[in-house]
Chain A
């Protein structure tokens, strides 16, 4: 089973600044990685798939990069609506699909 590890657990950033979130896989997942955003009381929403392709309707300030075992989600200029929990998920080797434990992005 592939273990996904996200860092940091909590990230404090001011609106308008850049946020960089990391996700590491215990073994290579190639580019088979997705990112999700989850706000309190809501279902997760797909942001990125294929490590770097934005999902439909996702603003250009969200970008993904990486391959193999190291991945990054970057939010270039934080808006108030971006403060949420972010999860990475690998779909290279399944079952099972595995998610990271999440990074909480909070307002500084």
Chain B
């Protein structure tokens, strides 16, 4: 069974940092693009970042460029999101999502999410 399990969320003060992790199992992690998608409380979905199979390509939504860094460790079947200079507007549930087998198109499946709250 394909499974994605996020961890690392929590309460952090504005300007602080947090590192999210996503443990993948049930598939060949190194063969897939991976992504982070977030959802602010009561709001819709927002794509945050993605990373190619070998980590050679990374892309970000403009609002997190220079503050967030996506990375992966294929030996550990893990995806990461380092979040620095956090703002109140970064408060959201962060989902780890796998892309389709043909490239970087649709998201399937998604993890259960981890909540990040940025507040003083």
Contacts and interface: CB of A to CB of B under 8 A. Distances in A.
A95 B109 contact: no
Interface residues of B, number: 21
B105 A46 contact: no
A46 B106 contact: yes
Contacts of A100: 44
A99 B110 contact: no
- Using C-beta atoms within 8 Å of the partner chain, give the interface range for chain A: 20 to 34
Contact of B106 (A42, A89, A95, A98): A89
Contacts of A45: 109-110
Interface of B: 44-47, 50, 59-62, 95, 100, 104-113
Interface of A: 32, 34, 36, 42-46, 49, 55, 87, 89, 91, 94-102
13 contacts: A36-B45, A36-B107, A43-B112, A43-B113, A45-B110, A46-B106, A46-B107, A89-B106, A91-B106, A94-B104, A95-B59, A96-B61, A99-B47
